[in-house]
Structure 1
Amino acid sequence: MLEIDGVSKRYGTIRALRDMTFSVRPGELFGFVGANGAGKTTTMRIVLGVLAADAGEVRLEGRPIDAARRRRIGYMPEERGLYPKMAVGEQLRYLAELHGRSAAEAKAAAARWTTRLGIAERVGEEVQKLSLGNQQRVQLAAALVHEPDVLVLDEPFSGLDPVAVDVMSAVLRERCEAGAPVVFSSHQLELVERLCDRVGIVRDGTMIAQGRVDELRAGDGAGATVVVHAPDALPGWADAVPGVTASRVEHDRTVVTLRAAADDQALLQAALATGPVREFTHRRPSLTELFRETMGERTEAGAA
């Protein structure tokens, strides 16, 4: 298990992380999401020892991460961390040997991962001559070539076409099935929702919500979509129902949020009072909608 326990970090007067706490279990794919500058990359760099935390601790299998344990982690930075003028195959073999693999093991691993990621025909080319998508595949191969026990990936899907996304997704799931804890950050929230076992949402350097996607989507209210064909209905009709807030109005389609104590039948009666109801559907918000609401709360708090 990878544990980030109460990690804090400041850059002068800027508080980058505040009591960042979460864990990633063996065989679990954990999605780490947040706005730009929320603290995701800083957290990952502390895990890898690139940065030192001001407080808190990072542990692997219950022990603080030292140099030996760090060798067991595969890291993929958001910025390109490759030698641009070095050939793909040569570079991967070199990186594997840096992690303690023999020359024969490094050669076999480089061949295996370039084949698995669909770049075997590029092994003799310089990285800088590859497309951005293929460079991203090489970057993932570099994180995997020493057969790590843990994967920490910063925006691994950035710049990939749909086929490459599918390949990358399959590889991450395979690593999980082999028992590795995998954590990755991404702004592609639909992909995070589809792939991940659990998700953590970070804001202003603090983990504000984490859990299974279905748990997060359940939230504090069920949510309902109400479609009302009533052109003459007064604005704000749904807000008059206790425990109900209209979150979006699109022509005759009103999306409302129901709090736990709200009476959905009272909402239906209020809708019927405005005109014929063609649809009344309970639904849960997507991860993208949850993220927008979270960022909206931050914006409102900042304005206040």
Structure 2
Amino acid sequence: MNQSVPFNGTPLLSLIVPCYNEQEVLPEFMRRVLPVLQALPGMNYELVFVNDGSRDDTLDLLIGIAREHDYVRVVDLSRNFGKEAAMTAGIDEARGDVVVPFDADLQDPPEVIPKLVAKWREGFDVVIARRVDRSSDTYLKRKSASLFYKFHNTISDIDLPENAGDFRLMSRDVVNALQRLTESRRFMKGLFAWVGFKTAIVEYTRQSRAAGKTKFSGWRLWNFALEGVTSFSTLPLRVWTYFGFVTAFAALSYAAFMLIRTLIFGNPVPGYASIVTILLFLGGVQLIGIGVVGEYIGRIYIESKQRPVYLVQARYGIGERAGRGGH
């Protein structure tokens, strides 16, 4: 577990940047981000890039950046583990008094970082950057995200701030708390919310990608949402208990109705179509219930293996010096 490393007694900010096939955006990223960090008053900084198994020239570009700047470090994972694992690797590597996860695509403007730092100086341990304008995203993505947050917060004991991504500032105390959470299937937004601490919110307008294409397809977003729901709520399991009681009550009620009707009107020819329909319906419901149970059993199975969240193949950049902000 890394501890904060003071540089000349000045607080250190660690910017964590997971990268997967981001060769097109990296030059613009450095052009936009460096002036912001250099202008931070009374604050040193470091950049920790995590190469998450990129298949293009991202790693070569990152190595070049690390050779050019002493305050840049590159963590190269052995394969693509996914953004949650890459972010975890960056948090583990960070040495700062404050840590800021930040996407390389620049949809979250770096100009917001000084506002996060200002709130931290006021005494907040967590400063969440919340999007107030997501017009750069498609309507379907905005609507599905809104439905996910509402659904998750309804069934879970942990509320996720709506329209808030991974972009936020966390103090060293928060980072140390996150490093104590050992699950291998990680839903970072939920973990950020679970640890708590004194929290403030800074609002901003989300922008379009500076270059490249998004790495999240509709299917990956669906699986990501499923991960979030099953990570912090057992209500989907409990629902099937209630549904079973309702179904059993309905079956008993129908049996009583059939018995009374037979005693009064005799035994008419049964409706085979209705019987087949009911059997198929209940069979489908049972399969859905088994699928929900299977999701949770699968998580138990994976956690029981106790595999590491990620594997590091190599590290580049000495990182013994920190960049110095404005003074």
TM-score range, shorter chain: under 0.3
Larger radius of gyration: 2
**Structure ranking higher in helix proportion:** 2
Q: TM-score normalised to the size of structure 2? A: 0.24
Normalised by the length of structure 1, the TM-score is 0.26
